[in-house]
C-alpha cells in the first residue's frame, strides 16, 4: 500500500463522521492498536487494518478511504469494538464508512447484488417452487415465492 498522502486531506471529514451514527465516538481513539491485534481479517490479510482506517479517516483522507477496497473487508465480527479500551464503536464506524462509500457510488459488485436482490425480492436467497418442493418433501411449510411489501417499504425514489 502507498504511503498516506497528507496533501489530500479534507479537514471537515472528521466532523462529518462524528455527526453520524457510528462516528460519534471516533475521536476517542488513542491508537493503542487493540483493534488491529484483535482482527481476524488482519490476521489473514494485512490490507485490512482497522487502526489504519481510523487514522486515515481522522486525518481527513476522505477520498482514499471511501474509494478503497479495504473498508469492505470488515466482517463485522465486533472483536475490535468489544475490546476497545476507549469505547470506540469501531464496527459501527466501519459500517458508516461503507454506507458513505455507497452514497459516493462506490461498492463491490457482490454487495450491490445483495442489496438489489433484497430490495427486489425481500430475501437474500429468494425461494422458488423447487425450494418449496424440497421443503415439502421433509414436511417443512412452504415459504412465499414473492414479496410485495418491499415495493411499499422502498419506493423507487430511495434507490
Partner 1 sequence: MKYAFFLGCTIPARSRNYELSARKVAEKLGIELIDVEEFICCGFPMKASDYKSAEIMGAYNLCLAQEKNLDICVLCSSCASQLTEVAHSLSEDGPDREQINDELSRAGLKYGGGVKVRHFARVLLEDIGVEKIKEHFIKDLSDLKTAIHYGCHYLKPSEIYDGFDDVENPKSIETLVALTGARVIDYPGKKRCCGGPVLPVDENVALSVAKEKLDDIVDAGADAMCLVCPFCSVMYDDNQKSIESEFGTDYNLPVLYLTQILGLAMGFGRKELGLNINVVKTKKLLSKYLD
The number of residues that bind partner 1 (CB under 8 A) is 55
Residues of this chain, 12-51, that bind partner 1 according to CB under 8 A = 21-22, 40-41, 43-45, 48
Contact with partner 1 (CB under 8 A) among 27, 86, 95, 145: 95
Angle between helix axes 50-59 and 90-103 (nearest 10 degrees) is 60
Grid cell 476497545 is found at 84
* Cell numbers at 31, concatenated: 491508537
| Residue whose cell numbers read 436482490 | 117
The answer to whether the CB of 97 falls within 8 A of the CB of 74 is no
The least distance separating partner 1 from the CB of residue 83, rounded to whole angstroms, comes to: 8
Q: Say which residues have a Cβ less than 8 Å from residue 24's Cβ, sequence separation at least 6.
A: 18, 89
Which of 3, 6, 7, 110: binder of partner 1 (CB under 8 A)? 110
- Under the criterion CB under 8 A, does residue 123 sit at the interface with partner 1? yes
Cβ atoms of 81 and 63 closer than 8 Å: no
Binding site for partner 1 (CB under 8 A): 21-22, 40-41, 43-45, 48, 72-79, 81-82, 91, 95-96, 98-99, 102, 107-108, 110-115, 118-119, 122-125, 127, 131, 134-135, 138, 140-141, 143-144, 147, 149-150, 152-155, 158
Amino acid at each position: 500500500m502507498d504511503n498516506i498522502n497528507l496533501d489530500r486531506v479534507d479537514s471537515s471529514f472528521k466532523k462529518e463522521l462524528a455527526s453520524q451514527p457510528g462516528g460519534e465516538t471516533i475521536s476517542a481513539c488513542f491508537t493503542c492498536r487493540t483493534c488491529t491485534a484483535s482482527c481476524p481479517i488482519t490476521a489473514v490479510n494485512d490490507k485490512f487494518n482497522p487502526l489504519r482506517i481510523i487514522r486515515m479517516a481522522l486525518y481527513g483522507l476522505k477520498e482514499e478511504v471511501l474509494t478503497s477496497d479495504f473498508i469492505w473487508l470488515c466482517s463485522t465480527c465486533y472483536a475490535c469494538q468489544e475490546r476497545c479500551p476507549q469505547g470506540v464503536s469501531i464496527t459501527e464506524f466501519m459500517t458508516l464508512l461503507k454506507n458513505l462509500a455507497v452514497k459516493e457510488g462506490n461498492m463491490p459488485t457482490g454487495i450491490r447484488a445483495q442489496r438489489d436482490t433484497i430490495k427486489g425480492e425481500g430475501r437474500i436467497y429468494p425461494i422458488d417452487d423447487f425450494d418449496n418442493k424440497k421443503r415439502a418433501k421433509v414436511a417443512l411449510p412452504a415459504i412465499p415465492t414473492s414479496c410485495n411489501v418491499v415495493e411499499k417499504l422502498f419506493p423507487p425514489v430511495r434507490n
